Structure formats: structure tokens, C-alpha cells
Amino acid sequence: MSKPNLRSITVNQIGYSTEGAKIAIVNGEGQGFRVIREETGEVVYAGKSGAAVLDKPSGAKARAADFSEVRTAGRYYIEGDDGSISASFVIADKPYQELQQGLLKAFYYFRCGVELTGEYAGPWAHGACHTAEGIVHGQPEKRLDGCGGWHDAGDYGKYSGPGAKAIADLLLAYELYPAAFEAAVPLPESDGRTPDVLLECKVELDWLFKMQEAGTGGVYHKLTTLNFPGLDVMPENDTAELYISPVSAAATGDFAGVMAMAARVYEPYDQAYARQCLAAAQAAWTWLEQHPGVPGFTNPPGITTGEYGDGNDQDERFWAAAELYRTTGMEVYHEAVQALAKLPFPKYSLGWADMGGYGTLAYLLSGKSATQTALYASLKQGLLAEADRLVQQCREDGYRISLLEEDYIWGSNMLVMNNAMLLLAAEHFSGNTAYAGCALDHLHYLMGRNVLDISYVTGFGDRPVMHPHHRPSVGDGVADPVPGMVSGGPDRGLHDEYAARHLQGKPAAQCFADHDLSYSTNEVTIYWNSPAVFVTARFNV
């Protein structure tokens, strides 16, 4: 008999709630297991795991070990009859509060243009960066202030569309689960009045204002250097010229949607700011009306940074119209929503390239009485059908998540968290808490209940990602990476040289390398963090 992998029992490395379901996944032959209280060594529960499922995406023989009967708060680990063990974890009433705060604090670490002081950044402090004006591409004599906002990812680019997606996730989390955001992070701006999540989103919103072209309402696609800097270059040492890429319809639609949303959310806290957001959203909408058929964005000549190309702007226009209608109640926007909804784009996607799901959520959140009956019913039915499809995929998956083998793409953890978000939206509109249970399984996967027994969030869990493709984490000389950042996760396409060299032949869910050169599996981004904040917030109310 072969010796077992001593860590072949995988769990959420943060823990489980006292009253909720508690399931570990065993990758191996042994069926008997024991739950042991770490402080005393006492066996508090003994059971047998279920039948093995040959899980194709992970290549594992996965068995579910259910220990939901354990409801006493404390720290535990699981031991199998064959000597295998799990990470240690807690059982607590609300085990994910610190995790949510860490995921949200990561946005502070992504800040651009300001010094991150030791008081708030600890050992990950660094100087102000990217304070120079940006050159408008194609107009070398025109320079604009683009200081502020968040770095997008492991590089220092700033992108309007992905930034809007990240803000939207955070604002939706606050709208649906405000009680989860009562505690301060804290941030330099914390004032005890405006929730910190709104103060942090304002950092990116203030930058987005600078990306709106004066006089037209259109929104520049991105602000980057011509090329990516070296992997160990700290932000304050990245001093190459900054370039503002041309206006795009996708960026303008995303801007209109998120600014209309912000106008509504900030109104109780800062009415003048809310009015500024709404005026900017309406100006962007005017640009969209005046430019009905513009080509998709591609990188201008000479710029090699992330393109975020998007050839279909119908989804962004739909989101913009739906948010403007929800915020203003004006029939002109309602008519636009109804016209755009007839077009064939994804209505339930929450990705930066397909933003139609945000339009659907905005329209449904407007309420049944304020919406067109047939369209409301159709969008709600479609949302629940998509959620049911995800639930069915979870039932068939050895690790209880909704990804098929082909879904382990570049940024697969965004799909994991976006799908969990959609499931929670289905819970919100149906009242069916089974959707939340399935969403929680996705969080369990992210935090270690996966075939690699790794927490995909830096600084959290028993075995977290340690070497993300993230320039400050590489260049700062600090052993631990910047905490609270969600890694991209397994990518079966092996889209970087390191992955192609080291991961050939691995099952899809094992195509991950905790190495800073593996940008296709181990980079971080603001819009992988943002849905994770949304999901954890649901379980902190």
C-alpha cells in the first residue's frame, strides 16, 4: 500500500460557521476520519467519508467527509484512518470577518499616486508613484492629470473598464449586505461616518473622473506606460512616460454604469459628490448615444500593456442604461434598457468583458413595480435558470464548485467568485438559501478546499500563496507577499513560459504554480478581489 499524502484531506483553511454545513474533501482511499480539537487532542467526532468520485478537472478521487454535527467553537483539524491530516481551521459564529477585511484592505495596497505609510501599510509601505501627467496617445502635446486610483493587477496599469467592474462588486456588496461593512478597515480616510468600503471606492471613482474626456463625455480606455516594467520594479521607481489610450465605447459604458450606481450609493453621505457622479454618468450616456457603432478597442501602436480589448459594447450600454434608470427613474433610460435587452449578448455574466449581468441585477433591483412586467420576469427567470445550472455543476464536481474542465482558464478564480456572486444574487431574488450554500462551497474552494490544498489568498489560511506575480511583492524585500490578494488560479492553457515548462500534462485544476513568473496562474487583480469581498460579505451579516 502506498504511503498517503499527509495533507490529502482538504478544508477551508479559515474555517466553518458553527451552525452551517462542514465538509472536508478527502483525496485518497481511506474512509474513516476523526475531527480533533487542536488545543486538547480530543476526538470530538468520528465518521466515514462518502463514496469516491473520480473528479476529472482535478484528477482526484474525491470523497466528501461531512462533520456538520461539530458545532462547538474552537480550532480543529481532521485525521484519516490512513494517517492523512488536514490543515487546522476554526469553527466560529462568523469565521470570515478578518478575511473580508483583508480582501478589502488589499485595495488600499493597490493605490496609485500616494505614499503608503507604515501606519497603514506596515512592512509593505512605499513611496508615491506615477504622479506625472499622462500623454494622450496621438496628441503628444496634450498631457492630462491621471494621478490616483488603483493599480489594476501585478503591473501598474490603470484601466477604466476593469476598475468599474471592481467598484461595482464592492458597491453591490455594500447595497445588499451593509451590516458586513460596519467595522473600520481602517483606512487613512476612516471617519466613523462613511463606511470604509465607500471611502476606498472613492479612490478609484476620483481617478475615473479624470479619465472622462472634457467636452465629449467619452472615457479613455486606460492609462499605462508603453511597456510593462521589470518584475522587481517598485511602483515609485516605475518612471517611464505614461500614456492615455483613446476613448472606447466599452470604457464609456462601464463608466456610465458605475457612476450612476455611485450617485445612488453616495447620496446619503455626500450629496454634492452624488450629483457629480450622476452628471458624469449622463454625459457618458450622451456620448454613447452619439456613437452607436464604434469599433472595439485595440492597443494603439507602440503600447504593449494589457489591452482589455472588447469588441461588443452592447452589454456595457445595457448596464449603463439600467443603472441610470434605477438611479433616476427616467423613462428615457427605461426605454433604452428595453431596447438593449432584445440584443443577443450574455445577460448573466459578471466579467470585465461581458458586463450584462450587472445590467440585469440593476434592473431587477429596481423592483417589480418600477419595471416592465415581461422583461422583469424574463430576466429573473434567466438568472435563476443560470444559478440552477451552476448548482447542478456543483453537484457533479468532486470539490463542489461550478467549474467544468474547460473553465480552468486564465483567471479561473474570478469565475469561481463571479459564479458565487451570481448564486447569491439568485438567493436574493428567490429567497432560496440553497443558492447561498452552493456559493459558500466556492469560498471553501478558494480558501483551501481544492486539490492543491492551497489558499489562493495571500496572507490567509494555513498554506497561502506566497509568490504572486505582483511587482511590489517581488520588489519590496519583504518575505511575505502583500496580504489579502486573490491569485488567478489554475489555467489549463499554460499561457506563460513558467507554466508551460512545469505544468505539462497536469489535470486542469492542478495547472497552477505558486511562482512569481507564472503570470497566467498566479497574478493578482482588483477584479478578482472584488467578487471575493462580495461573497465574504454575505456570510458576515
In whole angstroms, give the CA distance from residue 57 to residue 44. 33
In whole angstroms, give the CA distance from residue 340 to residue 527. 25
Q: According to the model, what pLDDT value does residue 363 have?
A: 98
In whole angstroms, give the CA distance from residue 213 to residue 95. 45
In whole angstroms, give the CA distance from residue 286 to residue 425. 30
Could you tell me if residue 415 is inside a domain?
A: yes
Task: Quote the domain boundaries for residue 306.
Answer: 97-452+521-538
In whole angstroms, give the CA distance from residue 267 to residue 272. 8
158 three-class SS? strand
Paired with 62 in beta bridges are 27, 53
**CATH value at residue 35:** 2.60.40.10
Asked whether residue 77 falls in the same domain as residue 106, the answer is no
Could you tell me if residue 491 is inside a domain?
A: no
Count CB-CB contacts under 10 A for residue 331. Answer: 9
What are the φ/ψ torsions at residue 90 (nearest 5 degrees)? -105, 155
Q: According to the model, what pLDDT value does residue 26 have?
A: 96
Q: Which residue has the cell 443558492?
A: 435
Could you tell me if residue 204 is inside a domain?
A: yes
CB 315 within 8 A of CB 283: no
Cell representation of residue 214: 472634457
Closest by CA to 209, choosing from 118, 302, 277, 161, is 277
In whole angstroms, give the CA distance from residue 147 to residue 140. 18
Find how far residue 259's CA is from the centre of its chain: 19
Strands ordered across the beta sheet of 15-17 = 15-17, 89-92, 74-80, 32-37, 43-48
Active site residues per annotation: 514, 523
Asked whether residue 108 falls in the same domain as residue 29, the answer is no
Q: According to the model, what pLDDT value does residue 6 have?
A: 80
In whole angstroms, give the CA distance from residue 455 to residue 11. 10
- How is 301-315 classified by DSSP, letter by letter? TT--S-----S--HH
The model carries a pTM of: 0.98
CB 113 within 8 A of CB 148: yes
Asked whether residue 103 falls in the same domain as residue 60, the answer is no
Asked whether residue 250 falls in the same domain as residue 136, the answer is yes
Cell representation of residue 80: 484519516
338 three-class SS? helix
Residues near 69 by beta carbon (within 8 Å), at least 6 away in sequence: 45
- Strands 139-144 and 134-136, by their bridges, are antiparallel
Chosen domain end from 92, 119, 148: 92
**CATH value at residue 423:** 1.50.10.10
Distances (CA, A) of 356 to 144, 176, 295: 31, 19, 19
Could you tell me if residue 88 is inside a domain?
A: yes
Helix (H) or strand (E) holding 287: helix 271-290
Identity of the residue numbered 484: G
Asked whether residue 118 falls in the same domain as residue 176, the answer is yes
Asked whether residue 218 falls in the same domain as residue 255, the answer is yes
Chosen domain end from 38, 72, 92: 92
75 three-class SS? strand
User: For the purposes of burial, counting CB atoms within 10 Å of the CB of 140, is it exposed (0-12), middle (13-18) or buried (19 or more)?
Assistant: exposed
CB 359 within 8 A of CB 261: no
Q: According to the model, what pLDDT value does residue 30 have?
A: 77
Q: According to the model, what pLDDT value does residue 2 have?
A: 41
Asked whether residue 291 falls in the same domain as residue 151, the answer is yes
Q: According to the model, what pLDDT value does residue 29 have?
A: 79
Tell me the torsion sign for CA atoms 437, 442, 446, 452: positive
Could you tell me if residue 319 is inside a domain?
A: yes
Paired with 153 in beta bridges are 525
In whole angstroms, give the CA distance from residue 536 to residue 541. 9
Could you tell me if residue 507 is inside a domain?
A: no
Residues near 156 by beta carbon (within 8 Å), at least 6 away in sequence: 112, 129, 130, 224, 225, 229, 235, 238, 471
Asked whether residue 156 falls in the same domain as residue 204, the answer is yes
Asked whether residue 321 falls in the same domain as residue 205, the answer is yes
Residues near 230 by beta carbon (within 8 Å), at least 6 away in sequence: none
pLDDT tens, residue order, the chain (541 aa):
344 458 899 999 999 999 999 999 999 777 899 999 999 999 999 999 999 999 999 999 999 999 999 999 999 999 999 899 999 999 999 999 999 999 999 999 999 999 999 999 999 999 999 999 999 999 999 999 999 999 999 999 999 999 999 999 999 999 999 999 999 999 999 999 999 999 999 999 999 999 999 999 999 999 999 999 999 999 999 999 999 999 999 999 999 999 999 999 999 999 999 999 999 999 999 999 999 989 899 999 999 999 999 999 999 999 999 999 999 999 999 999 999 999 999 999 999 999 999 999 999 999 999 999 999 999 999 999 999 999 999 999 999 999 999 999 999 999 999 999 999 999 999 999 999 999 999 999 999 999 999 999 999 999 999 999 999 999 999 999 999 999 999 999 999 999 999 999 999 999 999 999 999 999 999 999 999 999 999 999 9
460 three-class SS? coil
Chosen domain end from 92, 127, 149: 92
Could you tell me if residue 145 is inside a domain?
A: yes
Could you tell me if residue 474 is inside a domain?
A: no
Asked whether residue 88 falls in the same domain as residue 115, the answer is no
Asked whether residue 148 falls in the same domain as residue 285, the answer is yes
Asked whether residue 49 falls in the same domain as residue 172, the answer is no
Count CB-CB contacts under 10 A for residue 180. Answer: 24
Q: For the chain, what is the domain count?
A: 2
Buried-exposed string 296-322: b where 16+ CB fall within 10 A, e elsewhere:
ebebeeebebbebebebbbbbbbbbbb
